[in-house]
Structure 1
Amino acid sequence: MEVRLLRYFIAVAQQQSISGAAKHLHISQPTLSRQLSDLEIELGTSLFIRGARKISLTNEGVFLLTKAKEIVELIEKTEANFTQSNEIISGEIYIGSGETESIQFIAKTLKDLLINYPAIQFHLYSGSADDIKEKLDIGLIDFGIVIEPTDKQKYNYMQLPTSDIWGVLMRKDNPLANKESIQPKDLIDKPLIISRQTTVDNELSGWFGTDIKDLKIAGTYNLLYNASQMVKEGLGYALCIDKLINTSGNSKLCFKPLKPNIKANLNIVWKKHQVFSNAANTFLEQVRFNIDTYNNDN
């Protein structure tokens, strides 16, 4: 399967028409139609539902679109790093992270890096730890910022010198908002909104003293901002880390830490035996330097 055909397929899926995609790709409509038919024959399945006014995807087409975007993105990432100059360190760095205040440490590291190497460009991806690890495994990102523990068989890692505190996001008019901290007995019968991260389930199950799936789970979230809107409407209590949602001033929400305390240490991880671009190697050196500097100063 040629990458060119995947690019054609993506264009048609996005434009939802052969003519629109042909214009976008600067090729003739008959040529594009023939190429797509050849792709369907090669794969042995129909990828499109050809309607009177627009083209939509079959289930197989939807699956291929996801994979095609990943393949093309990986190829473009690789090509971009091969075009960098041997004299000037340039290129692209791809970093994935969950929601965490510790991203400020990465931001400072990137700032320090770009002062010396302004030709480097960074790309950030936000998602759960499971999302980050999946993209690491297939090579779409170079580094991930994830909560401990780290799979030492698959990844190299460095522990960041910052950590997050787990607690509960709730409405300020909730009776539990008067408490300084929240204990397991306070939440045992309450509707909970929890993160979908696998490692988080394990931590919280240990804190509750029971499998978290046996509790009253009202819902789950991937990114906390959306979950905070559910909390505002009184749909439940969000178990989350601190300083991600503004709870000051006129906010209807407040954050209360867990007791016993749960601290989330964070690692920057990358695949074992990973061959990095010059830009990614230089970034990793800057991370190591900044961690050593922070630890020596504190």
Structure 2
Amino acid sequence: MKDMDLRQLKYFMAIVEEGQISRAARRLHMAQPPLSLQLKTLEEELGVQLIERTNKRLRLTEAGHALYQRAEQIVGLVDNTTKEIREFDQGLRGTLGIGSPPGIGHLTMPSRIAAFHAAYPEVSFQWREGNTYRVLELLDAHVIEIGIVRLPVDENAYEIKPLVTEPWVAVTRTAQGQARPPSISLAELARQPLLLMHRQQGIQCHDMVSDALRAAGVEPTVFCESDNVTALLTLVELGMGAAIVPRSAAALKPSEALHIMEITDCRLESSVAITWLKGQRLSAAARKFLEMF
């Protein structure tokens, strides 16, 4: 078996991310048959099936999922190394990988990206979105250099620069003409089904909300948990319950039917920070971008 090369890994990643070989071929600016052959060759060389073919979409096997995770790390590391070497004689240019959760990223990133582009027009961006756990995964895989996360995170593994502390709020559905009070207690809130952020490994925001409900002696009915805030807000809009989310996340879905309230009898807050891998040599673009925070 010959060794895999970087081109094969990039082809494989494109197929996985696009979900169809035809779309991956268009993204890679190549014909579909040679790309299909590359995938088949890679599977034969490794001696495992990486992707199960169906009529509509492709599905990763367990081996394929493992290879994709490693490919993210390898391609990210090679790209970062290439950027570092080029910087020695080409100045500030290249692509900067960043990541953020929805809501917080929309508030903190666009103005800084615009200002950075004005100062360094030869730098482009790859902006990935996901919850804190996903952002940390992308940092660990060297797919991005800088991420915005909700604290706490492991301070032995990541450098942290605090940005802001924000309250968590209640979001309810309010029909036109109904009263819209500025605040609500946990007991009042728990009279309807609750929609909560899903617990992520190592991320304590879910526990913070659960602890506050327990301390208030409230036994709520939890209708749905999700790490997709927009989905939770859509469920609120459909009358399926009330959500408890960070204030910045509550603004992700502007709607006349949604009413945002402070929670009166507890202090639910989460801190947001910009972070990067401890001990990693950041690119010149990443270092300059960090200065904007």
TM-score range, shorter chain: 0.7 to 0.9
- 1:85-234, aligned counterparts within 5 Å? 86=89, 88-101=91-104, 103-160=106-163, 162-173=164-175, 178-196=180-198, 197=200, 198-209=203-214, 215-234=220-239
Structure 1 residue 278: deviation in Å? 0.9
Structure 1 residue 183: deviation in Å? 1.9
Counterpart check, 1:43 vs 2:49: no
In structure 2, how many angstroms separate the alpha carbons of the residues matched to 1:10 and 1:200?
32
After superposition, the Cα gap between the structure-2 partners of 1:50 and 1:187, relative to the gap in structure 1 and judged at 3 Å, is closer
**One-letter code aligned to 1:99:** P
Higher Cα Rg, which structure: 1
After superposition, the Cα gap between the structure-2 partners of 1:36 and 1:134, relative to the gap in structure 1 and judged at 3 Å, is closer
Length, aligned pairs only: 279
Report % sequence identity.
24
In structure 2, how many angstroms separate the alpha carbons of the residues matched to 1:99 and 1:177?
29
**Unmatched segments (≥5 aa) in structure 1:** 288-298
Structure 1 residue 225: deviation in Å? 2.3
Match of 1:239 in 2: 244
TM-score normalized with structure 2 length: 0.77
Equivalent residues of 1:247, 1:255 under 8 A apart: no
After superposition, the Cα gap between the structure-2 partners of 1:114 and 1:38, relative to the gap in structure 1 and judged at 3 Å, is closer
Equivalent residues of 1:8, 1:25 under 8 A apart: no
Structure 1 residue 204: deviation in Å? 0.9
**One-letter code aligned to 2:142:** G
Structure 1 residue 209: deviation in Å? 2.7
In structure 1, how many angstroms separate the alpha carbons of the residues matched to 2:267 and 2:33?
64
1:21-65 CA distance string (max 9 Å, x none): 9x9546985x974x55553243222335578x8995562465257
**One-letter code aligned to 1:237:** A
In structure 2, how many angstroms separate the alpha carbons of the residues matched to 1:84 and 1:122?
16
Greater mean alpha carbon deviation, residues 252-261 or residues 62-71: 62-71
SS of the residue corresponding to residue 159 of structure 2 reads strand
After superposition, the Cα gap between the structure-2 partners of 1:5 and 1:227, relative to the gap in structure 1 and judged at 3 Å, is same
Q: What CA RMSD, in Å, does the superposition of the two structures yield over aligned residues?
A: 3.8
In structure 2, how many angstroms separate the alpha carbons of the residues matched to 1:50 and 1:103?
36
Structure 1 residue 67: deviation in Å? 3.1
Structure 1 residue 12: deviation in Å? 6.1
TM-score normalized with structure 1 length: 0.76
Equivalent residues of 1:158, 1:268 under 8 A apart: yes
Equivalent residues of 1:77, 1:92 under 8 A apart: no
In structure 2, how many angstroms separate the alpha carbons of the residues matched to 1:172 and 1:54?
40
**Unmatched segments (≥5 aa) in structure 2:** none
SS of the residue corresponding to residue 209 of structure 1 reads helix
Greater mean alpha carbon deviation, residues 177-186 or residues 274-283: 177-186
In structure 2, how many angstroms separate the alpha carbons of the residues matched to 1:71 and 1:127?
17
Match of 2:72 in 1: 70
